Amino acid sequence: MKTLEFRSDTFTLPTPAMRKAMADAEVGDDQYGEDPTVNRLEERAAEIVGKEAGVYVGSGMLGNLCGVLSQAGRGDEVILGDLAHIYQNEMGAFTVLGGLHGRTIPNRDGMPSLEDIESAIRPSVGAFPRSALLCLENSHNNCGGSVITGAQTRAAAHLAHERGLKVHLDGARIFNAAAALGVDVKELTGPVDTVQFCFSKGLSAPVGSILCGPRDTVARARKVRKLLGGAMRQAGVIAAAALVGLETMRDRLVDDHVNARALADGLAAIRGIKIDAANVVTNIVSFEVERSAMDAGEFQKACAERGLRISRYLGNSPRLRMVTHANVGRADVDAALSIMSGILSAKPEPVTAR
């Protein structure tokens, strides 16, 4: 039985071109700045997102942490959405390791409102922590892959900069956002100070993320990477695959979006599933199984027993998630829909008292 892997785009496998690039990679000691492949990756990534420099890191969480800690100091406050991945899914690392205070505001389908951002910024006088950093996320994982536009990003960044804050963008899937909006990625990254994005999701590289921003900020972030144990040696072996992903996998992301919408439309036709298919614009499909039909955890388990792997939001949430990527095609989408429809149609109808 073939396993249908829809839990995350982190399950993408490296392409043959990536494997060859890894085998042939020119390497050196990255901690000394002497790995030529890493250096090329950092320069090229920064160029693509319109920044001066970049630092290659092992994970998106580490990239976010380097971005936050290089722009805010102990006792400062970070403003971010209440559903932000940095806040919900990264173990409170910026607080634990950076001594920073998080102030959350409503995400409102991925983008906090300007009014909420402004009201969260502390006065410069009084017994308050200093508002130092605004964090945005695009596309937004916990908001079902929603995107924020360049205009929204510019408005939020302008407000933050006027009030003396820096802006960090968790752009783990920023190229998905750019593909969904049909814009150059610089439209979404240009207004912010730093951006982190992942090579190991839709770009299909086996490992790694990058933080890009001003040269002096990236220099501080490189020291943070070292402090956190993230310095690397002959990292060109993995950077080579990331370079291939960066140059060859961005244009095909729209295929994942088409498959995600087909999946969403199919789910909308299954009795017992709640989904607004029109809200699916990238490669993340968020939906619920009606409690009267089946428990979400029971449904997830039943799918796994039939070879379909899906994920669940935030512990015992009724919300489930499926993610399309380079290693699932339309036939896999159709097979997944057949499995889910079969599970719910086999569930006995609840007995209603008369």
**Within-domain flag for 241:** yes
Domain boundary among the residues 223, 248, 273 is at 248
Q: Give me the CATH number covering residue 307.
A: 3.90.1150.10
My answer on whether 154 and 204 are in the same domain is yes
The verdict on residue 266 lying in a domain is yes
2 domain residue, yes or no? no
Q: What is the mean pLDDT of residues 79-103?
A: 96
pLDDT mean over 93-105: 97
Confidence check: pLDDT of 349 > 80:
no
Q: What is the pLDDT of residues 263-295, one digit of tens each?
A: 999 999 999 999 999 999 999 999 999 999 999
Same domain flag for 236 and 286: no
Same domain for 217 and 260, yes or no, is: no
Let me know whether 155 and 171 are in one domain. yes
pLDDT (mean) for 247-251: 98
Are 242 and 166 contained in the same domain?
Answer: yes
Is 158 in the same domain as 102?
Answer: yes
Is residue 353 in a domain? no
Residue 350: its pLDDT value, please?
55
Q: Residue 348 — pLDDT band, cuts 50, 70, 90?
A: low
Pair (178, 80) in one structural domain: yes
179 and 277 assigned to the same domain: no
Residues 222 and 265 in one domain: no
Which among 231, 248, 265 is the end of a domain?
248
Whether 1 is covered by a domain: the verdict is: no
Q: What is the pLDDT of residues 59-86, one digit of tens each?
A: 999 999 999 999 999 999 999 999 999 9
Nearest to 6 by CA among 283, 192, 244, 215: 283
Q: Same domain, yes or no, for 37 and 168?
A: yes
pLDDT the model gives residue 306: 97
- As a whole number of angstroms, the distance between CA 136 and CA 307 comes to 35
Q: What is the crossing angle of helices 174-181 and 253-268, to 10°?
A: 80
Provide the number of structural domains found in the chain: 2
Q: Is 3 within a domain? A: no
Residue finishing a domain among 248, 277, 309: 248
Cα–Cα distance between 52 and 59 in angstroms, integer?
Answer: 21
State which residues form the domain around 298. Answer: 252-346
Instruction: Provide the pairing of β-strand 209-213 with 194-198.
Output: antiparallel
Q: Which residues contact 349 (CB under 8 A, 6 or more apart)?
A: none
Nearest to 201 by CA among 54, 95, 85: 85
> What are the backbone angles phi and psi of residue 267, rounded to the nearest 5°?
-65, -35
Q: Which of 148, 78, 80, 136 is nearest to 109 (CA)?
A: 148
Residue 239 included in any domain: yes
In a domain, 198, yes or no: yes
CATH number at residue 75: 3.40.640.10
Percent of the chain with pLDDT over 90: 94
Quick: pLDDT tens for 196-223. 999 999 999 999 999 999 999 999 999 9
Other C-beta atoms within 10 Å of 313: how many? Answer: 19
Q: Are residues 258 and 226 located together in one domain of the fold?
A: no
- In angstroms, rounded to a whole number, what is the distance separating the alpha carbons of residues 314 and 348? 28
138 and 41 within one domain: yes
